[in-house]
A and B are shown apart, each in its own frame.
Chain A
Amino acid sequence: MNDDELQQRLHKLTTPEPSEAARERARHRALIAFQQTGSVQPDNSTWLGFRWNWRYAVALMLILGTLPFLFFRHPHSSENLANDRQILQQTEKLFPNQVNAVVEQNGKIDLSIAESPVVGSDQPVLLLFKRGHETIRVLSYSGHRVCLMLGKTQNCFEILATPAGGVILESEDQVWLASEHPKVAGYSLRAQTLASL
């Protein structure tokens, strides 16, 4: 069989027409994402890819000032989960498509921001690592990679949300299903997606 014959045979793989329902669902969700993003053309005065002016400066100060208070709450109420999502959304407005994670560890808030915009997932996820009185809260997105100090070692994970609403953490050599409440480097892990809020 030569290359031309192979090409001819390959083209016999006809593709199915996407269903009207799938198309409309995709259109609807994409438009919601578009409207939530509130697309604004960036100008040339950018720093880390976002427009830097006094409004952003004030908003950033407000967010960074408010984040510690928002984090010190009972971790499982639905109100708090809504706040978590709000934190991510506000941070995302300041750093469009650059937010990798918001981490609260030992009372300190760290923003993990990508140097250049990346097209991320729309599935926000909350991770809670607990050991004794210590709690580490991580707000991030499915598909993102997060590195944390757990005890004395740095642990890096890829976060994946499952279609059923569960969360999976994957390191170089291990996989944890959050639904099984596993121990990760001595910390108990709880996790959930924030998409349904």
Chain B
Amino acid sequence: MRIENEDVPDAQLVGNARSGDAQSFEILFDRYYAMIHAFAYRVCLVETEADDIAQETFIRAARGISNFRGTASFKNWLYRIAHNALIDWGKKAKRHRDKQVDFAAELDTRAQARTPDYADIHFALKQLSPDLREAVALVYFEEMNHREAADAMDCAETTVSWRIFQAKRALKKLLKEKEGESHE
């Protein structure tokens, strides 16, 4: 049976997918791929890496959906998987620092080619650790509350609050410095 209605609730699609319906899984893919890609980009700040992380997230989701119990929303479950994929990315990146530098250089060029504001924000975010960037991405861009972000990041709510506090302090300082540079 072909599913025509793109407004079918996630829960129904997940139920169908758990029973082996590939078309339902594909609708979920279409519904959330861009969201996960954007989240991955905001944390890793490298477009090609965001492609890989988003792909890995959906491969893992495909492998794990039969075990998805529905205690969290499907969307938050995907964020949790993306978080784990980002941790693996971080470990790989640590071992490929040279490659990462190349990516960073490539990205710097792209960032400069966009608006000055984009370049400044990109620069400031890049100075944060991935943990802090992820907290910022979930709370400010994905508009999660600290509890939801903590679920996605598999940490305590207080940890998210502390990371947001640190990130805000660092970002304000870095952006202020950038403003100072541009006025000189």
Q: Which segment, of A39-47, A61-69, A185-193, faces chain B?
A: A39-47
- Bound complex: CA of A120 vs CA of B62, how far in Å? 11
- The answer to whether B118 touches A14 (Cβ under 8 A) is yes
Q: Chain B, 25-67, contact with A by CB distance < 8 Å: what is the 0/1 string?
A: 1100100011001100110000100110011001111111111
Given contacts A12-B115, A38-B20, contact A18 B50 (CB under 8 A): yes
Mark contacts of A1-42 with chain B using CB atoms, 8 A cut-off: 1 yes-contact digit, 0 otherwise: 101001101111111111100110111011101110111111
Shortest Cβ distance from A178 into chain B, in angstroms?
13
Q: Is the CB of A117 within 8 A of B22?
A: no
CA of A38 to CA of B115, assembled, Å: 47
Question: In the complex, what residues of B have CB within 8 A of residue A122's CB?
Answer: 59-60, 63
Contacts of A9 in B (CB 8 A): 117, 120-121, 175
Q: Which residues of B contact A179 (CB under 8 A)?
A: none
B side interface size, CB within 8 A = 53
The answer to whether A30 touches B67, judged by C-beta atoms less than 8 angstroms apart, is no
Bound CA span A117–B50, Å: 26
Which of B3-11, B88-96, B145-153, B155-163 sits within the interface? Answer: B88-96
Residue A150 interfacial (CB < 8 Å): no
Q: How many interface contacts (CB-CB < 8 Å) are there between A and B?
A: 148
- Provide the residues of chain B in CB contact with A170, threshold 8 Å: 91
Majority DSSP secondary structure for residues of B touching A:
helix
Give CA–CA (A31, B161) in the complex, Å. Answer: 37
How many Å lie between the Cα of A12 and that of B96 in the bound state? 29
In the complex, A9 Cα to B120 Cα: how many Å?
9
Contacts known (A13-B121, A22-B55, A40-B20); A30 close to B61, Cβ less than 8 A: yes
A39 and B66 in contact (CB under 8 A), knowing A13-B42, A16-B41? yes
> Does the CB pair A37–B95 fall under 8 Å?
no
B171 interface hit (Cβ, 8 Å): yes
Instruction: Judge whether B51 and A26 touch: CB under 8 Å.
Output: yes
Contact A97/B168 with A13-B118, A22-B51, A23-B33 known, Cβ cut-off 8 Å: no
Q: Is B18 an interface residue (CB 8 A)?
A: yes
Q: Does B135 contact A (CB under 8 A)?
A: no
Top 7 nearest A-B pairs by Cβ distance? A26-B55, A34-B62, A30-B58, A22-B51, A33-B62, A39-B66, A15-B38
Residues of chain A at the chain B interface (Cβ within 8 Å): 1, 3, 6-7, 9-19, 22-23, 25-27, 29-31, 33-35, 37-42, 49, 96-97, 117, 119-122, 142-143, 158, 160, 162-163, 168, 170, 175
B interface with A by C-beta (< 8 Å)? 15, 17-20, 22, 25-26, 29, 33-34, 37-38, 41-42, 47, 50-51, 54-55, 58-67, 81, 84, 88, 91-92, 95-96, 114-115, 117-118, 120-122, 125, 136, 140-141, 168, 171-172, 175-176
